[in-house]
Structure 1
Amino acid sequence: MTTVAVLGGGIGGLAASYYLCKSPQVTKVLVLESSSRFGGWLWSTRRSDGAVFEHGPRGIRPAGAVGHNTLNMVDDLGLGGDILPVPSSHVASQNRYVYMNSRLHRMPSGLSGLLRTVPPFSRPLLLSVAMEMLVKKGAEEDESVHSFVSRRLGKELADIAVDSLCRGVFAGDCRKLSVRSCFPVLYNAERRRGSLTLGMLLGSGPSPAVPPGPLAQRSVTESWSQWSLSRGVESLPECIAEYLQQSGRVELHREAAVQQISPSASGWTIRLEDGVVSADHIISALPAKALASVLPPSCQPLIQLLQDISTVTVAVVNLEYEGSILPVSGFGHLLPSSEDQALLGVVYDSVPFPQHDRTNGRTTRLTVQEFTAHHYQRHTHLGVPTAPSWSRVTLQRDCIPQYYPGHFRRVESMRSFIRENNLSLSLIGSSYDGVSVNDVIFNGRTAVEQLLGTGVLERVNTGT
């Protein structure tokens, strides 16, 4: 393996390039990014007064194999000293709200929250959990998240909590999203244990083996619920890009939009606006539809499958207010679709990460996420009496893929086509195997493992 071309310089493409650099089997890596910056949806604005605003993901979860994997990378890059951890005991971890019936409701947490009837729910959640163990296993190989949760835990929980959660995480409709692809832990718990409760208690199947490094071990010891970086999450792709630049084996190309890729005798010919490059293998971190637009006609079955993956566009509205204006303290609040079709939720950024507030004077930073940017100052439900002193609206076009029922089959068919036609092509990024930062990074690593063997991962885990 001499030259690998990585299409897309978001966090997935950068992560794959990082792992490629760990292997002596790779002589050269070409990273081709169509925009003027690397990092994709990991995008931070840093003001001169010290304030930091996130236009995409803001907090990254440390838990599980994929969480440990990301923290191992952060450690290896020397970013451990920039970590801003939020422990599980923090008010931002304990308090999460849903806005319903024109009121903020704190979501139940802890044993007392499960035992009592807590509005907006009509009965204690423990009853739903206890009865869930008696529900028969579903017969379908996939179904919507709403159908799955209604069947196992009741329609009320699906209509309120799960509807809100899917809007907050996927900006999607739980009645259309796949439980198998969006919440594989829940799906596998039912498949393997016959119950979500037993699956949570006993485990729902094997997980990838990722030995935690010092930083990941610290996250377990200190019980982090999420973390960020002192200069915002964009510090991570920035640091990876610098690492790649210094490796001497990576060429980073900005404003290098791929026009067409064609199979060649040695791999691929990649046509750019200003020339042609060759590669032995392509790792595509492009969105599914973007990859479909550059594949040759001989890949028509793959092109059709890629085009079938839908995406949503989200308006991210960063707001800053003078003083302390929140009526409650917590991570933020979500809204079920029955309350507001356009508004997805509000994150109280100053609560989990006060370090990102400006250095002089007390302020409150919020982020509003919605399908349109027309109503971002409508915060009557927070009781905000004044207009923001600073705001920024970012329209993130086609930013979150939507995994509809049968998504896993579509992805299997894509990879089967690639194998059967002996294409030197790997598919990574949020279009396929998970939309979180951790998932995308880990899937970049998995693609490199499959391409080069497991030795690269063993060296990364041991820090050599």
Structure 2
Amino acid sequence: MDYKRPMRTVAVLGGGIGGLAASYYLCKSSQVTKVIVLESSSRFGGWLQSTRRSDGAVFEHGPRGFRPAGAMGRNTLNMVDDLGLGGEILPVTYNHLASKNRYLYVNKQLHRMPSGISGLLQTVPPFSRPLLLSVAMEIFVKKGKEDDESIHSFVSRRLGKELADVAVDSLCRGVFAGDSRKLSVRSCFPPLYNAEQHRGSLTLGMLLGSGPTPVIPPGPLAQKAIKELWAQWSLKRGVESFPESITEYLQRSGRVQLQREAAVKQISPSASGWKIHLEDGVILADHVISALPAKALSSVLPSSCQLLIEHLQDIFTATVAVVNLEYEGSILPVEGFGHLLPSSEDLGLLGVIYDSVAFPQHNRPNGQTTRLTVMMGGAWFQEVFGSPESVTEQCLLAKATEAVHCHLGVTTAPIWSWVALQKNCIPQYYHGHFRRVESMRSFIRKNNLSLSLIGSSYDGVSVNDVIFIGRKAVEELLGTEV
């Protein structure tokens, strides 16, 4: 890609957290004169969406917290620090009940996941043998010969079918709203794949390291997170205050033009880069950073990009129904982060998050209440609920309240509820995903396209991943660290 031409104007397609993060990093460089952010909806922030009720209660309709660990976690905290949000952070430490207690709902019962050495040494239901036995035997398993494998197959081979069927199946539903039998281990859990490739064992990979990781020095806030042993964190006014702060920062910079309700109809190559066609005009840009979902980008590219279009259309997404519930009083039989369900238990129900345990600060200040979030559908949405266009909020709310009643023994009705149908919100990295992404980026290089692909469709679905991917794209574009 020819990065030597001057970068006067960069257009960022999509104003979710990925597009905002890329714009933030572009603002850190003097090489770019103007940044134009084009968002098709009426708000910035994408899936980071919070409801702040007038009585002080906060409810999350997408991601509800961030992990501070690793290079990506430090990178996000450094950005939060720079935005002046440090005083807004609500940390959850590793010794908090929401960190120590995580549950699985199996055979119509809640089971606390084993933790600590004693938990690993004992046989803890729903498992039929101590987990340490599976871990100890794993060292002797031969390395796989394929260049990719489903997560279920990988874990079955290395740690046993029971762990794959119960724990990992549930985990994939909680993280990706996806099917572990289809998802790629190489793309969804790179540390596991790399541990086997470089060390021949997950255990040795975790102990000795499994390849290079990005070097991100921790700023003051990230240092505080390490010192205080944060496991996760949120913000006092909900996670949406993060993209709101980035938006304010971009507006103050004087170099960023933020356009809401600016759906991109088509992009076509021009002498200097791209012509971006909107409903009401054309924008010229030297470079395009696309944070659009893969299928959305495929629909606006010119026919000369046919191979790229086909690969983009091969990236599927999952639809998740997120139902927020509030109950009067303290109604939970257990305290913890929440519980997940394997697909064998209930295809349509992914899990229930006990929001009030991790972040009681988001409860209304007067009178005790319990806030829960029920997640449903995912890769099984169509099979269980039918078309997202035809399903009713009443149907989803009924399924969610029934789950809370059956799983947690709650007999009262919620005093407040919110149903959010998040259509196509989580990309599904199916077997061979890495080859598709490599082929797309190879096409962009060979055709010398002034185009960067960021967002959750390619290299990671977590908020931390998406922010870091935006940073990396800007650094590659400008040929310097930001």
TM-score calculated relative to the size of structure 2: 0.94
Match of residue 44, structure 1, among 43, 46, 50: 50
The alignment status of 1:431 with 2:457, answered yes or no, reads: yes
The alignment status of 1:442 with 2:448, answered yes or no, reads: no
- Structure 1 residues 20-40: Cα deviation after superposition (integer angstroms, max 9, x where no partner): 000000000000000000000
1:415 is aligned to 441
Match of residue 427, structure 2, among 382, 396, 401: 401
Quote the Cα distance in structure 2 between the aligned partners of 1:436 and 1:387: 33
The alignment status of 1:332 with 2:338, answered yes or no, reads: yes
Paired residues for 1:97-176 under 5 Å: 97-176=103-182
Quote the Cα distance in structure 2 between the aligned partners of 1:151 and 1:343: 27
The alignment status of 1:69 with 2:75, answered yes or no, reads: yes
The alignment status of 1:317 with 2:341, answered yes or no, reads: no
Question: Partner letter of residue 399 of structure 2?
Answer: H
Displacement of 1:455: 3.5
The alignment status of 1:222 with 2:228, answered yes or no, reads: yes
Quote the Cα distance in structure 2 between the aligned partners of 1:229 and 1:392: 20
1:377 is aligned to 401
Secondary structure (helix, strand or coil) at the match of 2:320 reads: strand
- Structure 1 residues 393-414: Cα deviation after superposition (integer angstroms, max 9, x where no partner): 0000000000011100100000
Secondary structure (helix, strand or coil) at the match of 1:449 reads: helix
Match of residue 360, structure 2, among 348, 354, 365: 354
Match of residue 53, structure 1, among 39, 49, 59: 59
Quote the Cα distance in structure 2 between the aligned partners of 1:192 and 1:305: 29
- Structure 1 residues 286-329: Cα deviation after superposition (integer angstroms, max 9, x where no partner): 00000000000110000000000000100000000000000000
- Structure 1 residues 174-213: Cα deviation after superposition (integer angstroms, max 9, x where no partner): 0000000000000000000000000111111110010000
Secondary structure (helix, strand or coil) at the match of 2:355 reads: coil
Secondary structure (helix, strand or coil) at the match of 2:356 reads: coil
Secondary structure (helix, strand or coil) at the match of 1:375 reads: helix
Displacement of 1:381: 1.4
Match of residue 289, structure 1, among 291, 295, 317: 295
Displacement of 1:385: 1.0
The alignment status of 1:178 with 2:176, answered yes or no, reads: no
- Structure 1 residues 310-352: Cα deviation after superposition (integer angstroms, max 9, x where no partner): 0010000000000000000000000000000000000000000
Secondary structure (helix, strand or coil) at the match of 1:377 reads: helix
1:9 is aligned to 15
> Gaps (5+ residues) in structure 2?
1-6, 378-384, 386-395
2:382 is aligned to none
Paired residues for 1:227-238 under 5 Å: 227-238=233-244
2:349 is aligned to 343
Quote the Cα distance in structure 1 between the aligned partners of 2:176 and 2:246: 26
Question: Partner letter of residue 377 of structure 1?
Answer: T
2:414 is aligned to 388
Q: How many residues align?
A: 456
> Gaps (5+ residues) in structure 1?
457-464
Quote the Cα distance in structure 2 between the aligned partners of 1:256 and 1:320: 36
Displacement of 1:361: 0.4
- Structure 1 residues 7-52: Cα deviation after superposition (integer angstroms, max 9, x where no partner): 0000000000000000000000000000000000000000011100
Displacement of 1:160: 0.3
Percent identity of the aligned residues? 80
2:393 is aligned to none
Displacement of 1:138: 0.4
1:308 is aligned to 314
- Structure 1 residues 62-88: Cα deviation after superposition (integer angstroms, max 9, x where no partner): 000000000000000000000000000
Quote the Cα distance in structure 2 between the aligned partners of 1:224 and 1:112: 23
Quote the Cα distance in structure 2 between the aligned partners of 1:184 and 1:213: 26
Quote the Cα distance in structure 1 between the aligned partners of 2:280 and 2:168: 48
Secondary structure (helix, strand or coil) at the match of 1:350 reads: helix
Quote the Cα distance in structure 2 between the aligned partners of 1:202 and 1:50: 46
Quote the Cα distance in structure 2 between the aligned partners of 1:259 and 1:359: 46
Quote the Cα distance in structure 2 between the aligned partners of 1:26 and 1:312: 36
1:207 is aligned to 213
The alignment status of 1:299 with 2:299, answered yes or no, reads: no
Quote the Cα distance in structure 2 between the aligned partners of 1:95 and 1:403: 29
